[in-house]
Amino acid sequence: MAKIVVIGSTNTDMVVRSTRIPVPGETVTGGTFLLNPGGKGANQAVACARLGGETTFVAKVGDDAFGRETGPRLAKDGIDARLLVDPAAASGVALILVDAEGRNCISVAPGANATLTPSDLEPMRGEIEGAAALVMQLETPVETVAWAMKVAHAAGVTTVLNPAPAAELPADLYADLDWITPNETEAKLLTGVDVTDAASAKDAAAVLHARGVKGVVVTLGAQGAFWSEGGCCGSVPACPVKAVDTVAAGDTFNGAFAVALTEGQSVVEAVYFAVKAASIAVTRPGAQSSVPHRSEVAADGTPAAKP
């Protein structure tokens, strides 16, 4: 089993599900409240572990109840959680509103996630350099992301960056990325291309390749995903499902994609596997609670690694 290191955020998600998401100044009553573990980094670590990867997760938490609950919870999924404690910051939290169609809007207070520095990660250099893949997101400082990606890339580790939430990246970071996995909104922010379908995703990928990225996967929601690498490209359609909650769908996709890559699956197989896993996640409420296990991805009899 190949080792995957995930570095990123861990949050506690406070979710309200109601008929619709209120507009500014409006109150919508009648919703249901849920308290769920989340954070893009932790979600992706859970996805990696449940879908077959030996997973180490590195994050920073506060000295509070949310932070203290994180390690034991992740250990239940077999994750080696390396949690740093910042006594001066609270653990990260996210406020999530979900409507009847499964659409969501999210407000995040990063807390200790925002204080993760390269010096915090220096003791983990050996773990990073010895991994098969490094997976990161943008809920921790971008300079920390850039440092870790450079260390991993120099050691020949496969690097996967999910540029979420959307933010501009340093120009020199792109060359250290084997894979970047934006959704339509993130791809537009990074490239200026209005991504609405596979054709426009191809245009956005061309911009990212020109900056030095080796491989690009643009997730397209109900349209599936577009991939581009080494002069080849293609699309994988979404699985037809009834979406209940799209929270952590992208995180599930990224964890699944990383696992498939470390198993030696082809790009098409890896994207197919990731689309299938994400399609299961959207049929369930919650973040980590929605992430499927490996056996579920192939439960319909379709080989998980076959496009």
Amino acid 299: pLDDT: 59
Chain centre to alpha carbon of residue 228: 19
Note the Cα 182 to chain centre separation in Å: 10
Residue 167 has a CB neighbour count (10 Å cut-off) of 13
Q: Give the gyration radius of the chain's Cα atoms.
A: 18
Query: Domains in the chain and their CATH numbers?
Result: 3-297 (3.40.1190.20)
Contact status, residue 134 vs residue 107, Cβ threshold 8 Å: no
Nearest to 64 by CA among 45, 81, 83: 83
Catalytic residues: 251
Q: How far apart are CA 11 and CA 67, in angstroms?
A: 9
- Per residue, what are the HEC states of 242-285? CCCCCCCHHHHHHHHHHHHHHCCCCHHHHHHHHHHHHHHHCCCC
SS (H, E, C) 157-195: CEEEECCCCCCCCCHHHHHHCCEECCEHHHHHHHHCCCC
Give the helix/strand (H/E) hosting 234.
Answer: strand 232-236
Per-residue pLDDT of the chain (307 residues; tens, 9 = 90+): 789 999 999 999 898 989 999 999 999 999 999 888 999 999 999 999 999 999 999 999 999 999 999 999 999 999 999 999 999 999 999 898 989 887 888 888 999 999 999 999 999 999 999 999 999 999 999 999 999 999 999 999 999 999 999 999 999 999 999 999 999 999 999 999 999 999 999 999 999 999 999 999 999 999 999 999 999 999 999 998 888 777 789 999 999 999 999 999 999 999 999 999 999 999 887 778 889 999 999 755 444 544 4
Per the CB < 8 A criterion, the answer to whether 242 and 208 are in contact is no
Q: Which residues, 6 or more positions from 236, have their beta carbon under 8 angstroms from its beta carbon?
A: 224, 225, 227, 268, 271, 272, 275, 307
pLDDT at res. 243:
81
Neighbour-count burial for 81-102, b at 16+ CB within 10 Å, e otherwise: bbbbebeebbbbbbebbbbeeb
Q: What single letter denotes the amino acid at residue 119? A: S
* CA dist 6 → 21, 44, 82, 121, 141 (Å): 32, 7, 10, 12, 15
pTM here is 0.91
Q: Quote the pLDDT of residue 301.
A: 42
Q: Are 47 and 287 in contact (CB under 8 A)?
A: no
* Residue 207 DSSP SS3: helix
**DSSP strand pairing (3-7 vs 133-136):** parallel
Report the distance separating Cα 288 and Cα 139, nearest Å.
16
CA atoms of 46 and 193, how far apart (whole Å): 32
